[in-house]
Amino acid sequence: MKSVEVKTFDKPDETREFEGKGWADVCTVGGKPVARGHFEPGWKWSQNVKPIVGGDLCQVSHLGYVLQGRMRIHMQDGTEQELVPGEVVALQPGHDAEVVGDETCIFLDFGEIAEYALRK
Mean pLDDT of the chain: 96
Whole-number pLDDT of residue 120:
73
Whole-number pLDDT of residue 97:
98
Whole-number pLDDT of residue 1:
58
Decide if 108 contacts 65 (C-beta within 8 A).
Answer: yes
Question: What's the whole-model pTM score?
Answer: 0.94
For the chain, which residues make up each domain, given as ranges?
14-109
Strand order in the sheet with 22-29: 14-17, 22-29, 32-39, 105-109, 62-68, 88-91
Rounded Cα gap, residues 96 and 56, in angstroms: 9
Instruction: Kindly report, residue by residue over 60-119, the tens digit of the pLDDT.
Output: 999 999 999 999 999 999 999 999 999 999 999 999 999 999 999 999 999 999 999 998
Q: Would the pLDDT of 26 be above 80?
A: yes
| Region 15-20 average pLDDT | 97
Whole-number pLDDT of residue 27:
98
Domain 14-109 falls in which CATH fold? Jelly Rolls (2.60.120)
